[in-house]
Structure 1
């Protein structure tokens, strides 16, 4: 079973954007593994809370301007 685990900042994506990611990653799996992979493809989008990760020794929080507007 192909599996993708995608981590994104909390509230950075709309529901529609998450749906699109699931569909596009599933399509990529089908391109690589044939149509037989579609019913077994798993795409997990995990939202990480502000302050729950860092980069370059700095704790990251999502600026308001980057937050998704549903």
Structure 2
């Protein structure tokens, strides 16, 4: 039984986007493991609190990720 855990920063993805993540990750797994495994392929989306995730020594916030997705730079932290 495949189990896929996807971690995201809270508040970034809408419920509809999370549904798309579940569907597309399931499709990716089924393309590898075969159609018979669809019914037992589990995908869990775990939300991490804004500011509790870091990359390169800098914390990520919901606002910073949304700014990145929109193509607008987030102001430097003070």
**TM-score of the superposition, structure 1-length normalised?**
0.84
Q: Partners of 2:15 and 2:64 in 1: how far apart?
A: 18
Aligned to 2:19: 19
Alpha-carbon separation, structure 2, partners of 1:30 and 1:7: 20
- Partners of 2:20 and 2:4 lie apart in 1 by 14
Query: Which aligned segments of 4 or more residues in structure 1 are displaced greater than 2 angstroms?
Result: none
**Stretches of structure 2 lacking an aligned partner (at least 5 in a row):** 68-78
RMSD: 1.8
Return the TM-score normalized by structure 2.
0.76
**Larger CA Rg, structure 1 vs 2:** 2
Q: Find the aligned partners of 2:6 and 2:60 in 1 and give their Cα distance.
A: 17
Higher relative contact order (CA 8 A, sep 6+): 1
